[in-house]
Amino acid sequence: MSTGWEDRAEGLIAWARKPGHDAYWLYRDSFFELVPPPGRRTLEIGCGEGRVSRDLRDRGHAVTGLDAAPTLVAAAADADPASEYVVSVAESLPFEDGSFDLVVAYNSLMDVEDMPAAVGEAARVLESGGRFCVCVTHPFRDAGRFETRENGAPFVVTGSYFEEGTYEFTAERDGLTFTWASRTYPLASYMRALEEASLLVEALREPVGFDDRDRRMPQFLHLRAVKQ
């Protein structure tokens, strides 16, 4: 499945740049608690229009943002001329081994064509002892759906948690519409990719959300791994 981000780039720019519009603004503080202080050089893979890279920059990181969608990279560079933005794919990073001491993947590992290859590349471009900080949609949340939007609605898994799959849904909020299309993985798929890349998980969080559904069921999984 192609997740077609270039085709949907303008929609994502509008969606992501409206402050407070989506879950990023609620969960970013929890994520940045896991992110080490600025070091030598930080890479964000799947940077999109650049909001996470700009937040890293604002925290003092020397950021390179990378994304496969040229329109998103152009928008990120326009909004942050002092940082470096690169069009490339996460599965084949255009950087030397050990170029970074921090790699961030914020809601992008579900979107790349080959998640284990992207994790392997993140490890390759990290120096020894470097950190890999990740946010993904929570594997258990991706495995099912709430039956209704009512408080207390049952969360139902009709397929199998263990099967890797895809999903697509269109969200409408405050006059904006965006179609999300992505992949789902059980937790063990992410862990296997990290293990095979010699990335040791040293911190993992399931941040509690802000409404009935997100207080009962995690929406995101945050983790930090260290390169052995």
Ligand X SMILES: C[S@@+](CC[C@H](N)C(=O)[O-])C[C@H]1O[C@@H](n2cnc3c(N)ncnc32)[C@H](O)[C@@H]1O
Cα(149)–Cα(54) distance, rounded to whole angstroms? 33
Judged by CB under 6 A, the residue of 34, 35, 52, 56 near ligand X is 52
| 57 scored as a contact of ligand X (CB under 6 A) | no
- The site string for ligand X over 91-130 (x = CB under 6 A, - otherwise) reads x--------------xxx--xxx-----------------
102: Cα within 13 Å, side-chain hemisphere: 26
Q: Of residues 72, 126, 134, 223, which one binds ligand X by CB under 6 A?
A: 72
Q: Is 67 in the site for ligand X (CB under 6 A)?
A: yes
Our CB check for ligand X shows the closer of 84 and 212 to be 84
Instruction: Work out whether 71 is an interface residue with ligand X (CB under 6 A).
Output: no
Residues 134/109, Cβ–Cβ less than 8 Å: yes
* Beta carbon nearer to ligand X, 75 or 225: 75
Q: Which long-range contacts (CB under 8 A, 24 or more apart) does 78-83 make?
A: 79/49, 79/50, 79/54, 80/50, 80/53, 80/54, 82/57, 83/53, 83/54, 83/57
Closer residue to ligand X in complex, CB, 78/147: 78
Please say whether the beta carbons of 80 and 50 come within 8 A: yes
- Which residues are CB-neighbours of 29 under 8 A, at least 6 positions away? none
Residue 139 contacts ligand X per CB under 6 A: no
Residues forming contacts to ligand X in the complex (CB under 6 A) are 3, 5, 16, 24, 45-48, 51-52, 67-69, 72, 89-91, 106-108, 111-113
